[in-house]
Chains A and B, each alone.
Chain A
Amino acid sequence: MTITLTKADMVEHLFDELGLNKREAKDLVEMFFEEIRDALETGNHVKLSGFGNFMLRDKTQRPGRNPKTGEEIPVTARRVVTFRPGQKLKQRVEEYGSSGA
């Protein structure tokens, strides 16, 4: 079974490690993700050293298909977020090896 980390676990972690109260910890976790969204929403890349970079890309319109019906529909131009893991995270994850997941 895969273990999933959620915001509730993060709140618990800040409570355990730093002694922030639950309210403060919850606000901080919420605001952390909101600041990243906000930066990306205003056209800024977000670089978190040791973890990775959230990068923005503008994609032009391209031909696409409805995979069910085979009908051709254009994929409209859009802006997307991509995540590029940092060297440190990549290394740590690689060490998890080839089993599982």
Chain B
Amino acid sequence: MTKSEIIDILSRKQSHLSSRDVESSVKLLLDKMSESLSSGGRIEVRGFGSFSLHHRAARKGRNPKTGDQVALPPKHVPHFKPGKELRERVNESRATHPIQD
């Protein structure tokens, strides 16, 4: 499922809102979430999960083309921890719903 499919489903279910408002809302939500993480914050949605940052130490890497050693600075990467409801619902559907490609 993609972002535009979510927008379509939500527009159908929230027929009193214009599909433009639904589209803007989904984009605003994802922007807000990205912005929160990129300013060092966390996101917590009960029953869905939480997003936080994990720290990665500085390391030495290599340019795969030239083999030259390069110093890679420390950085943060986004991390998602699924919430209890999501974990349980997904696991319980294992027997009935094969993973689609």
Contacts and interface: CB of A to CB of B under 8 A. Distances in A.
B93 interface: yes
Contact of B91 (A10, A29, A79, A94): A79
Contacts of A56: 90, 99
**Secondary structure type dominating chain A contacts:** mixed
A79 B90 contact: yes
Contacts of B93: 41-43, 79
Nearest to A37: B86
**Secondary structure type dominating chain B contacts:** mixed
Q: Categorize the interface residue count of chain B.
A: 35 or more
A47 B39 contact: no
A27 interface: yes
Interface in B52-101: 52-53, 55, 58, 73-80, 82, 85-87, 89-91, 93-94, 97-100
Q: Categorize the interface residue count of chain A.
A: 35 or more
Contact of A10 (B21, B32, B76): B32
Contacts of B79: 83
Nearest to A99: B40
A96 B53 contact: yes
Contact of A36 (B6, B55, B98): B6
Contacts of B37: 89, 92-93, 96
